[in-house]
Structure 1
Amino acid sequence: MMSEESTDTPQTDPAQAAPVGEDDWAEAFAEEQQQQAGSASAEGAAPETPSTGGAKRAAFGALKPGSAEPPEGSDRLDLVMDIPVTLSVELGRTKIQIKELLQLAQGSVVDLDRLAGEPMDVLVNGFLIARGEVVMVNDKFGIRLTDIVSPSERARRLT
């Protein structure tokens, strides 16, 4: 058995409630402005204009021709000098099947597409920029650049 409760306030379903229109927002802003105007006039300040909705207009200086240029004496490359990039050296590549990959063990030999003594590719963020030969410097591997890829060649490889 259900008990009925009586309340003085009507229960409304939010889905059935009337949508808030622009008139409701305008009334709320006008009411807020009247309250602000009342407190501002009590303090001796001028009330805000209703056309700006209580916001103040920002003041910006006039733009001058060439103002987007860097100041004289600064180098444009300074803006990118601290951006990190990934430099990698590629010994060679090959394609193998997954079953061959799973059979690899310590001591396995994988044939690459390069010949012994052929220059290595130097890549920056995956793009070829140079070729070189492997050298040993203080017990560490390094690469001596033997050929730099020209900008036109780099652009041709991108397409």
Structure 2
Amino acid sequence: MDGLSNLGGNTPADDLTRWLKNAPATGTVQKATFENLESTESAESGVRDVGMIMDLPVKVMVELGRTKMSIGELLALHKGSVIELNVHAGDPLDLVVNGCLIAQGEVVIVNDRYGIRLTDIISPSERLRKTSR
């Protein structure tokens, strides 16, 4: 938009308005048309869209508990050392996905492997509250 600074208006918006009023006609004016913004997709197409992300990998972690220790205490650890955590026996375990608390559960053993049985799914509002732990 050449010449805007030479129009002498009070504000850039005034200059632009004046320039547009005085601009030479370069063609026919067409009415703008916009698509309807209301959702017209069926529920089936919404499920199909979610299907696109179903194979994306996420980092899933079960957190037993937390503790703080000094570097000296960390370096003094050896085979057989016990680290005391901030949870009690029987407390629920946290299921964390990509760093966000998603659910809580209890330890189970399936075919000689540890697992977690989910006992509580965390709502989005609770997730925000529990991240301050």
TM superposition score category, shorter chain reference: 0.5 to 0.7
Counterpart-to-counterpart distance in 2, 1:107 and 1:158: 31
Structure possessing the higher radius of gyration over alpha carbons = 1
Equivalent of residue 80 in structure 2, options 107, 112, 122 = 107
For structure 2, list consecutive stretches of 5 or more residues without a partner in the other structure: 1-32
Runs of 4+ in 1 over 6 A off after TM superposition: none
Counterpart-to-counterpart distance in 2, 1:111 and 1:97: 14
TM-score, scaled relative to structure 1: 0.53
For structure 1, list consecutive stretches of 5 or more residues without a partner in the other structure: 1-62
Given the superposition, is the C-alpha separation of residues 120 and 155 from structure 1 closer, same or farther in structure 2, using an over 3 Å criterion?
same
Structure 1 position 123 matched with structure 2 position 96? yes
Q: Deviations over 1:47-90 (max 9, x none)?
A: xxxxxxxxxxxxxxxx98369x8975322311221211111100
Q: Deviations over 1:121-156 (max 9, x none)?
A: 100001101110000001010000011111221244
- Aligned 8 A contact 2:101 2:131 in 1: no
Given the superposition, is the C-alpha separation of residues 66 and 137 from structure 1 closer, same or farther in structure 2, using an over 3 Å criterion?
farther
Amino acid of the residue matched to residue 144 of structure 1?
A: R
Identity of aligned residues (%): 53
Equivalent of residue 35 in structure 2, options 62, 65, 74 = 65
Equivalent of residue 77 in structure 1, options 50, 55, 60 = 50
SS at 1:88 equivalent: strand
Q: Deviations over 1:64-120 (max 9, x none)?
A: 8369x8975322311221211111100011000111111100011111101011110
SS at 2:58 equivalent: coil
Which structure ranks higher in relative contact order (CA pairs < 8 Å, sequence separation ≥ 6)? 2
Amino acid of the residue matched to residue 114 of structure 1?
A: V
Structure-1 residue corresponding to 2:60: 87
Task: Say what the alpha-carbon RMSD is for the aligned residues.
Answer: 2.4
Given the superposition, is the C-alpha separation of residues 107 and 156 from structure 1 closer, same or farther in structure 2, using an over 3 Å criterion?
closer
Counterpart-to-counterpart distance in 2, 1:111 and 1:157: 21
Equivalent of residue 113 in structure 2, options 130, 140, 144 = 140
Structure-1 residue corresponding to 2:122: 149
Given the superposition, is the C-alpha separation of residues 156 and 96 from structure 1 closer, same or farther in structure 2, using an over 3 Å criterion?
closer
Amino acid of the residue matched to residue 140 of structure 1?
A: R
